[in-house]
Amino acid sequence: MIKIMKYSDFSREEIFAVKENIVDVSGIVSEIIKNVRENGDKALYEYSLKFDKAELSSLEVTDEEIEEAFASVEPEFLDILRKAAENITAFHEKQVRNSFIMSDKEGIVTGQKVTPIEKVGLYVPGGTAAYPSTVLMDSIPAKIAGCEEIVMVTPPSFGGKVNPVILAAAKIAGVTRIFKVGGAQAVAALAYGTESIPRVYKIVGPGNAFVAEAKRQVYGQVSIDMIAGPSEILVIADGSSNPAHCAADLLSQAEHDKLASAVLVTDSEELAQKVSEELERQIPLLPRAEIARASIDNNGKIIVAEDLDKVIEISNEIAPEHLELMVDNPFDLLSKVKNAGSVFMGRNCPEALGDYFAGANHTLPTSGTAKFSSPLSVDDFVKKIQYTYYTEDALRKVAKDVAFFAHKEGLDAHAKSAVIRTEEI
């Protein structure tokens, strides 16, 4: 049963305690990366047989396989995928940054050039599960950014096939190439390249503990989006909220993973009790009841605070991945939200809207990292190049200032590089 905690009766340490469920896989991942670097495709074939029970004849998904998968997906779902893609595209097109140039001072031009990362890799979980939403969320911003090569890796299922809905989503989103590789070995292949899989410059996308650790270890060789932890939801609800809705939304994340975190923060003790009862009613009805039960019992909590100001303060300290504002005037509270990955406003906006359809990205910071990081966006697929131009006259006017600054840092060659030109003039 979920814990109910009255804020005034517990210490901060107890209120904000997070169970550590860390399994150290760094050694295993290090060996996998080393093997892929040394043996390339050979290692990938061996790992596919070992981990996925798939004996592959080739790593890359062919055009024929993509067309066959596309034809096998029901037209109704293809239409839904297209609608979701349209929403995601419309949202992310607003994020596009423009280059700029400054030339307001005579003889001086400075500016910034925004340019796409040429090659990016997308990790999409697969095997027994299928997440076409992740395909759309990770590839559409890359496409909008202008990335030339979008390489997707995803584990094959038994028999060496990729789930058809994954391939259908990839076709709709415009993924360039797709490979039947998962796990830490897929991350290593993207980071270092093999005979079949091209090396990329950035890797994005969620995965299990092995994938997360692999991303951590290859960072520096390539860029990464984030190290994603277990899924989280925090629901802020007042006494007028429907307890069945609150419970359903908490369970929408609890069913992800036994390590997932579902938290309700409210100013109503009555609502807290009713939500607890509703959870007990709804959990046994879920196909993934065992997972949801473990998540709720081990990581779930209901925090009761004296008012909504304190509720928001608690939420900002937790910095949840998903935040629901289940109140009548959510925009009044939004201005007070400082730390959250994605915010869902009002009583008719379940987090599932964001997972699949609304358009805002669902690849989000977890484990409190929303205090300093952001959802995946077009910004993740571009880089900025800055430039500076000075004429002779413009340099002459500032050369002594530059040299003075350089001398203060003890860098005489820096100073000389500026004044030598004025001496020649």
Find tokens 């996998």 and name the residue.
32
> Pick the catalytic residue: 321, 324, 351, 362?
321
Per-position b or e across 106-145, b if 16+ CB within 10 A of its CB: eebeeeeebebbebbbbbbbbbeebbbbbbbbbbbbbbbb
423 a catalytic residue: no
Whole-angstrom distance, CA of residue 258 vs CA of residue 368: 18
Judged on CB neighbours under 10 Å (0-12, 13-18, 19+), 31 is: exposed
d(CA 123, CA 341): 20
Cβ atoms < 10 Å from Cβ of 154: 28
The kind and range of the H/E element at 177 are strand 177-179
How many angstroms separate the Cα of 86 from the Cα of each of 96, 173, 174, 341, 381?
Answer: 16, 10, 13, 22, 19
**Is the sign of the CA dihedral 343, 345, 350, 354 positive or negative?**
negative
Does an H or E element contain 339, and which? none
Whole-angstrom Cα distance, residue 347 to residue 336? 18
If we measure between CA atoms, which residue out of 298, 286, 207 comes closest to residue 261? 298
Active site residue 321: yes
The active-site residue out of 213, 322, 351, 362 is 322
Cβ within 8 Å of residue 373, ≥6 positions away: 226, 365
Q: Which two tokens stand for residue 334?
A: 């939004």
d(CA 89, CA 52): 33
Catalytically active residues, by annotation: 321-322
